[in-house]
Amino acid sequence: MTSKQPSHQPSHQPDLPTGEQLYETLLAGVHALIAPLERQSVHLVGIHSGGAWLAQRLHQDLGLSGSCGLLDISLYRDDFDRIGLHTQVMPTQIDFPVASQHLIVVDDVLYTGRTIRAAMNELFDHGRPASIKLVVLIDRGGRQLPIDADFAALTINLTKKDNFVLQKTETGAFTLHLEYGNA
Amino acid sequence: MLNPQLNRHGELTHLITTEGLSRQILTHILDTANTFVPLAQRDVKKVPLLRGKSVFNLFFENSTRTRTTFEIAATRLSADVFNLNISASSASKGETLLDTIANLAAMQADIFVVRHEASGAPFLIARHVAPHIHVINAGDGRHAHPTQALLDMYTIRHFKKDFTNLRVAVVGDILHSRVARSNIHALTTLGVPEVRAIAPLTLLPSGLEQMGVRVFSDMREGLKDVDVIIMLRLQNERMRGALLPSAHEYFKHYGLTQEKLVLAKPDVIVMHPGPMNRGVEIDSAVADGPHAVILDQVNFGIAVRMAVMSIVAGASA
């Protein structure tokens, strides 16, 4: 668990790091995080869609074996009664046995923590992992559950109306935008 | 015209028929089913999506297989399932259909899965239930069997990838078949350019041409170069009427044999909604042969029914 508290920067900060800069920070962070673990038992699991992009590239850059896991948590959400099943659900792909493995869950933005709660519930339906760690590109504060990232490339307090949007260009590079909501 | 299956936001809240549903809605159901198919390979085959919801299987007409697949689908979504064998209970004591439904709704039902020998029964129920209750038609009279059609569409898409370059033949008792009707609507909506109906003239309904269907009474001619063959079950009771001479005679002209199958495309798939009458509408060599995808249909049927339940249960009241 990181002890870093979200810094109190204004949400309209003009000089944010770029998506690629943050990715490099994330890569270094994950590298350090998995260093003490037995490499064969480490698996990345990306949450659709931003986390899946990140996990796939991390998997390649870290030279991990096998395939990386992709998770769609739509079937485990806690707000199904309110929003239903409208958006396109992507199939979850976990092509390795989860039991006794070290899983690194990857997501782009950590906010309320509800997505991570759903992701952990889904992972346990695949087996009993040895451990689960969470790495994210951005921790934007605003947690509603006792969940924290083991590594965040950027920690920043964002107001409720604003959002980070991660995109992937045709060449595979990451771009990051801060979208300001209407007050 | 307002589609009674959609709520005021245009979301699917009941599934009564494939007729009048947009390509977008049909594709959404198939895409959602896609996410449920891999669940069957997991240790834990359940997801918590419908936890706390109550699904009532109301089968006024017997069907072990369809009822079981709905039951498996609801259970895998973590819903509580109640199977009611209505033909043996209230209805025989004289209770009206809507009274039965009102009583079950009072038991906090969320979804009714209805099979009824009367065409239109699920629609009648859908019109009378409260907005938070959803009705899924599991086959009504000669009218519709939408989840069977959707699982057939899923199977076709799985093996053929694209609907827009296919020739699909529906073979058998089309006149009495709710499966045929629902399939023809779905195939047409999904953009299949050529749907063929193959049957003796006594088992062909009128008006098929207006639905864009090419009609054949010669099976050999109708099977030429088709990509998909959907066989229908010949209901034994039809044989007793004046519509058909005998099972033997029917098999000779309309039974699917290896010898007739070679007229279709080399990669043709053969489908059947079950239960099969071997030696009546289909030869065992074909039913067990490499072109048959009949057991895949059964497997996909669970995922498709999970998709339908998830989508209607998520529609706003």
Tens of pLDDT, residues A40-53: 999 999 999 899 99
CA neighbours closer than 13 Å in the CB half-sphere of residue A101? 23
Nearest by CB to A85, from B37, B43, B311: name it: B311
Put residue B166 in one of left, alpha, beta given phi > 0 → left and psi -120 to 50 → alpha.
beta
pLDDT at A2 over 60: no
A100 to chain B, any CB pair closer than 8 A? The answer is: no
Whether A92 and B35 lie within 8 Å, measured CB to CB: yes
Residue A63 lies in a domain: yes
Tokens in use for A58? 């991390």
Identify the band that residue A11 occupies on the pLDDT scale cut at 50, 70 and 90: very low
Measured from the Cβ of residue B281, the count of other Cβ atoms closer than 10 Å reads: 22
pLDDT of residue B306: 97
Q: Best residue in A80, A83, A90, A128 to probe B by mutation, most B CBs within 10 Å? A: A80
- Please check whether residue A114 lies inside any domain of the structure: yes
Domain range for A150 is 41-77+91-162
Q: Which CATH number do you get for residue A50?
A: 3.40.50.2020
CB A78 within 8 A of CB A87: no
| A83/B contact by beta carbon, under 8 A | yes
**Number of compact structural domains in chain A:** 1
In our burial notation (b when 16+ CB lie closer than 10 A, e otherwise), range B242-276 reads eebeebeebbeebbbeeebbeebbeebbbbbbeeb
Count of CB pairs separated by less than 8 Å, A with B? 51
Residues 6+ apart with CB under 8 A from A36: none
Residue A86 is predicted with a pLDDT of 66
Assess if residue A33 is contained within a domain: no
The nearest CA of chain A is from the CA of B48 a distance in Å of 6
Select from B21, B104, B7 the least CA-distant residue to B312.
B7
- Whether A49 and chain B come into contact, CB under 8 Å, resolves to no
In a domain, A96, yes or no: yes
Q: Residue A87 pLDDT more than 80?
A: no
pLDDT value, residue A183: 52
The mean predicted confidence, pLDDT, of chain A is 89
Tell me if A84 and B313 make a contact (CB, 8 A cut-off).
yes
DSSP state letter for B194? E
Which pair of tokens denotes residue B272? 């059947």
Q: Tell me which chain A residues have a C-beta less than 8 angstroms from the C-beta of B49.
A: 75-76, 80, 85
Q: Tell me which chain B residue has its CA closest to the CA of residue A122.
A: B47
Q: How confident is the model at residue A10 (pLDDT cuts 50, 70, 90)?
A: very low
Report angle CA A54, A57, A61 to the nearest 5 degrees: 130
Check if B160 is active-site. Answer: no
Three-state DSSP class for residue B314 = coil
Domains recognised in chain B with CATH numbers: 23-145+298-313 (3.40.50.1370), 146-297 (3.40.50.1370)
Give the SS3 label for residue A67.
Answer: coil
SS (H, E, C) B224-277: CCCCEEEECCCCHHHHHCCCCCCHHHHHHHHCECHHHHCCCCCCCEEECCCCCC
Q: Given this model, what pLDDT does residue A89 score? A: 79
Domain presence at residue A152: yes
Q: With respect to residue A66, please indicate whether it lies within any of the assigned structural domains.
A: yes
Q: Is the pLDDT at A21 greater than 90, yes or no?
A: yes
The verdict on residue A130 lying in a domain is yes
Q: State the Cα–Cα distance between residues B306 and B50, nearest whole angstrom.
A: 10
Strand order in the sheet with A151-155: A69-71, A42-47, A102-110, A131-139, A151-155
Which has the closest alpha carbon to B134: B55, B60, B77? Answer: B55
CB-CB under 8 Å, B43 with A125: yes
Alpha-carbon torsion, ordered B260, B264, B269, B272, to 10 deg: -40
> Rounded to whole angstroms, how far apart are CA atoms A64 and A39?
8
In eight-state DSSP terms, residue A15 is: -
Residues 6+ apart with CB under 8 A from B314: A80, A83, A84, A85, A86, B11
Q: What is the 3-state secondary structure (H, E, C) of A78-134?
A: CCHHHHCCCCCCCCCECCCCCCCCEEEEEEEEECCCHHHHHHHHHHHCCCCCCEEEE
pTM confidence score? 0.89
Is residue B181 part of the annotated active site? The answer reads no
- For every one of its 317 residues, what pLDDT tens digit does chain B have, with 9 covering 90 and above? 578 999 999 999 999 999 999 999 999 999 999 999 988 888 889 999 999 999 999 998 888 889 999 999 999 999 999 998 776 666 667 788 899 899 999 999 999 999 999 999 999 999 999 999 999 999 999 999 999 999 999 999 999 999 999 999 999 999 999 999 999 999 999 999 999 999 999 899 998 998 899 999 999 999 999 999 999 998 776 666 667 778 888 999 999 999 999 999 999 999 999 889 999 999 999 999 999 999 999 999 999 999 999 999 998 87
CB contact under 8 A, A125 and B314: no
How high is the pLDDT of residue B84?
Answer: 86
In a domain, residue A46? The reply is yes
Q: What is Dmax (Cα atoms) for chain B?
A: 56
Is residue B251 within 8 A of residue B216, CB to CB? The reply is: no
The CA distance from A171 to A70, in Å, is: 21
- Residues B212/B195, Cβ–Cβ less than 8 Å: yes
Tokens of B304: 């498709």
Question: In the annotation, is B65 catalytic?
Answer: yes
Residue A179 Ramachandran class (φ > 0 left, ψ -120 to 50 alpha, else beta): beta
Please write the tens of the pLDDT for every residue from A112-121.
999 999 999 9
Closest CB to A89 among B32, B44, B316: B32
User: pLDDT tens-digit profile of B158-216?
Assistant: 999 999 999 999 999 999 999 999 999 999 999 999 999 999 998 999 989 988 999 99
Is any Cβ of chain A less than 8 angstroms from the Cβ of B27?
Answer: no
